[in-house]
Structure 1
């Protein structure tokens, strides 16, 4: 089954060319099934790139997905055209009376700020509390996951002396988890952040770590009590996303003598002149496909019941 997207959304043509099954509103209306309603709260500056990345992953399952693009109500995007935002995004204020089977909260390039100093923090706290009554399963990504860990469990984020940047190998710590169904014993995950959460503090909060690395720390964390997953790294990245970030960092260096490190384990032979190979795509599809499958197995058919049942509906 396809993912339902407006035919004028840039992701529609991109995913069609890639062979991802997509459908517009007219075709979806002829299917007598209830699609899974998934929201994407997009906090990233490159909105179009990010929405395409996540649509690609959640649209690759056998289920029909209805994707709703959401933005913070009073925060204006600076890097995406206003007509795109007006045409395809709804504010949280506009959707907060609705129910969703799933919600993805993306990362945001504001790691250096304490959570409470983020301009939209109060509304994001409202969003996170709202997920407990209006969303069946929430997926917090990178800063979005750290924000949820801080909000629900008071797990702090810690600034790093050096950016964790590259494609790092991670260990499968919970092979029996339904979210890691089909995973290898280890896998490569793109990492790009200046902050970390620490294993001991996550464990002290009673949260199981599903994927982790001795170098980069916890990667995928489950929060059953809040029906949530937190991934602190970027399975959704395209093959060249880390290269784009590396090129951007090189271009933005203004301090004489400053050095930008080449992403670890990313370019062949550690040579930025060579084309990087994507070594995480299959596991990215597995993870988000497993998340969608778990939602399908456990979400109420009657969406009014979402948020009323706190236990695993599989019994």
Structure 2
């Protein structure tokens, strides 16, 4: 079944062109089923690109999903038109009385800052605590994953000498995991970050399990089964051109940056990159949504009330 998003969201036409089943709000009202409530806390500066990336993957599910776009209330986005935010986004303060089957927290380009120096850290901590009572399953991505695992378990992040940047091979450490159903033993995922978390720190925390890892880039995906919380430190959701966009942006600003590893054919930035992670991105999001569907209460208000 399709994803339900606002009829006028810019991603609407793009998703239709790509073959993603999209349902108008009017059509959804006529269906007598409860759609899954999936929220996206979008912390990225270019929110339109990020919401399309996530909606593309969420919308590939055979289940009907109602997709809500959420932003930090006290932070002003510099790269997204205010009209877009007012039309399609709610602040967390406006949705905090709701329950969600699934909740996604994105990365943010603030990795090198200590968490406590982030201007919206207090609100971020409130949101993370709120997910324990109002969300059935949470998927935290990149900085969002680092922030969550630090907030809940004190796992630190470490600065890297240079940006981890490229498409790297990863290993499936637990093929029996519901989140890795259908995954190859070895697969590729985009990486783009200035910091890392380390296996040794994660292994100290009871209840955390590493599901994906790279020899070069370290930990990629961690599961916290008891709380239905996932920490994805890399960017399986990226478009084919996302790393190229970041590379050329940095080149234009004069920032020290090397071409992303194993990305441009022949390491030539003039050649268009090939997407080698798309199928695993769809598998991962599809598995996550299916697990939510299998385990979430039918009554939304029951979420968080009895360990749900």
TM-score, length-normalised on structure 1? 0.96
Q: Is the 8 A contact 1:225 1:310 kept in 2?
A: no
Equivalent of residue 280 in structure 1, options 255, 277, 280: 277
**TM-superposition CA deviations, 1:258-312 (whole Å, max 9, x none):** x42110010111111111000000000000000000000000001111012336x
* Gap regions ≥5 residues in structure 1: none
1:73 Cα deviation after fit: 1.0
Report the counterpart of residue 225 of structure 1 in structure 2.
Answer: 226
Q: Tell me if 1:201 matches 2:201.
A: yes
1:225 Cα deviation after fit: 2.7
1:67 Cα deviation after fit: 0.3
Q: Tell me if 1:3 matches 2:3.
A: yes
Q: Is the 8 A contact 1:71 1:91 kept in 2?
A: yes
Report the counterpart of residue 150 of structure 1 in structure 2.
Answer: 150
Report the counterpart of residue 263 of structure 2 in structure 1.
Answer: 266
2:67 aligned counterpart, secondary structure: strand
Report the counterpart of residue 72 of structure 1 in structure 2.
Answer: 72
Q: Distance in 2 between matches of 1:305 and 1:5?
A: 24
Report the counterpart of residue 104 of structure 1 in structure 2.
Answer: 104
Report the counterpart of residue 37 of structure 1 in structure 2.
Answer: 37
Q: Distance in 1 between matches of 2:307 and 2:146?
A: 22
Runs (4+) off by over 4 Å: none
2:273 aligned counterpart, secondary structure: coil
Pick which of 156-165 and 302-311 moved more.
302-311
Superposition map of 1:1-315 within 5 A: 1-206=1-206, 207-253=208-254, 259-310=256-307
1:63 aligned counterpart, secondary structure: coil
Q: Distance in 2 between matches of 1:225 and 1:124?
A: 21
Q: Distance in 1 between matches of 2:149 and 2:257?
A: 30
1:128 Cα deviation after fit: 0.4
1:51 Cα deviation after fit: 0.1
Q: Distance in 2 between matches of 1:117 and 1:226?
A: 27
Q: What is the aligned residue count?
A: 307
Q: Distance in 1 between matches of 2:306 and 2:265?
A: 49
**TM-superposition CA deviations, 1:133-188 (whole Å, max 9, x none):** 00000000000000000000000000000100000000000100000000000110
1:224 Cα deviation after fit: 1.6
Q: Distance in 2 between matches of 1:12 and 1:307?
A: 32
1:101 Cα deviation after fit: 0.3
Q: Is the 8 A contact 1:235 1:280 kept in 2?
A: yes
* Gap regions ≥5 residues in structure 2: none
TM-score, length-normalised on structure 2? 0.98
Q: Distance in 2 between matches of 1:197 and 1:278?
A: 26
CA-based RMSD of the aligned residues comes to: 0.8
1:226 Cα deviation after fit: 2.4
Q: Distance in 2 between matches of 1:260 and 1:227?
A: 36
